[in-house]
Homo-oligomer: A and B are copies of this chain.
Amino acid sequence: MKRIGRRTIALDTAPAVLGFASVVGSKEGQGPLREGFDYISEDATFGESSWEKAESHMLKQCFELSCARAKLSPSQLDMIFAGDLLNQCVSSSFAMKDSQIPYLGLYGACSTMAESLLLGSLMIEGGFASQVCALTGSHFCSAERQYRFPLEYGGQRCPTAQWTVTGAGSVILGSAGGGVHVTQVTPGVIVDAGIKDANAMGSAMAPAALDTLKTHFADTQRRCEDYDAIFTGDLGALGHDLLETLLAEAGYPVDARYADCGVLLYDRENQDVHAGGSGCGCSASVLCAHILPGLLAGRWHRVLFAATGALMSPVTTQQGGSIPGICHAVVLEA
């Protein structure tokens, strides 16, 4: 039996990261992680005529870079798991429409990087695939007009708001080789804490992160000290602090080893992103520009990557709905 405890699955074959890449916009390229990105676009258009096409272009470019890094042609991939924030996940499907790779579309909101890694590594563990790609991203401009206001409106943002990352991450997983391995996965359940403020996503998602981390720690009989680093996806500064409090109350205190990708990605003092970064591209680009390189460089040996997502839409918010959250966790070991 490969299940440990209630929800965690141990991967005996430890699927390997064969290659990875990150592509981001210019704002992200001016932030603290600038050295880690594989490509920084000069502007947000990526040479395209619409924000949606720009997002799709970015995903395709990121996918191709990750294949090159893995020294594989796309035709050697058995499956791709991809998704994004756009309605009907069109930036992913249009990015991959000519790839001829078996395509499994996901919607995990901003948790998609972890969801795609989780399912991709299980495909390899099960012997169903030899090489798999996990791909996701988001774009500030397409997200703003879809979720909030047209950019031209110049709407004010409140201090708890987060900034949707223009960025993509792509990871190629394989059954052999590689310096980093997926050793365990803990899929998340949906947690609805009743938060209704769409400008406080960190608060809405922190209870889901709590549930997944608590479950992962209990399943594996590990604690914070058993990891060199723990990353949540896009809780932002508020959600990060809230999760710290919640974990301490639950008996699983974390220390400075815990960081949030949305906090790491920008210089919050000078980049006007309020509570930090968010979006599918947040944890995806930080994974590929910071976490995986850090594991390869020996900075860390065992990392818990726990991407978070808010499973709402503008319509559910307009209809008075709460914001259910989810968090999927993946253990990466060098």
- Do the beta carbons of A90 and B122 come within 8 Å of each other? no
Q: What is the minimal beta-carbon distance from A173 to any residue of chain B, in angstroms?
A: 15
CB closest residue in chain B, given A124:
B126
Name 11 A/B residue pairs within 8 A (Cβ), A-sorted.
A52-B315, A52-B316, A85-B88, A86-B313, A86-B315, A87-B88, A88-B109, A88-B313, A93-B190, A98-B190, A105-B107
- Do the beta carbons of B87 and A315 come within 8 Å of each other? yes
With a CB–CB cut-off of 8 A, which chain B residues contact A53?
A: 319
Q: Which of B94, B103, B119 contacts A119 (CB 8 A)?
A: B119
- Do the beta carbons of B312 and A88 come within 8 Å of each other? yes
- Do the beta carbons of A115 and B107 come within 8 Å of each other? no
With a CB–CB cut-off of 8 A, which chain B residues contact A108?
A: 104-105
Q: What is the minimal beta-carbon distance from A21 to any residue of chain B, in angstroms?
A: 21
With a CB–CB cut-off of 8 A, which chain B residues contact A315?
A: 52, 86-87, 90
With a CB–CB cut-off of 8 A, which chain B residues contact A190?
A: 93, 96-99, 103
Is A333 in contact with chain B by the CB < 8 A criterion? no
Is A106 in contact with chain B by the CB < 8 A criterion? yes
- Do the beta carbons of B192 and A324 come within 8 Å of each other? no
A52→B105 CA distance, assembly (Å)? 22
CB interface residues, A 175-199, toward B, < 8 Å:
187-190, 192
With a CB–CB cut-off of 8 A, which chain B residues contact A189?
A: 99-103
CB interface residues, A 103-132, toward B, < 8 Å:
103-109, 115, 118-119, 122-123, 125-129
Segment of A1-9, A57-65, A261-269, A294-302 engaged in the interface with chain B: A1-9
**Complex interface bits, A41-83 against B, C-beta within 8 A gives 1, otherwise 0:** 0000000001011000000000000000000000000110001
Is A246 in contact with chain B by the CB < 8 A criterion? no
- Do the beta carbons of B128 and A3 come within 8 Å of each other? yes
With a CB–CB cut-off of 8 A, which chain B residues contact A1?
A: 127
**Complex interface bits, A295-334 against B, C-beta within 8 A gives 1, otherwise 0:** 0000000000000000111111001010010100000000
With a CB–CB cut-off of 8 A, which chain B residues contact A83?
A: 107
Is A89 in contact with chain B by the CB < 8 A criterion? yes
CB closest residue in chain B, given A95:
B190
A115→B85 CA distance, assembly (Å)? 19
Q: What is the minimal beta-carbon distance from A85 to any residue of chain B, in angstroms?
A: 8
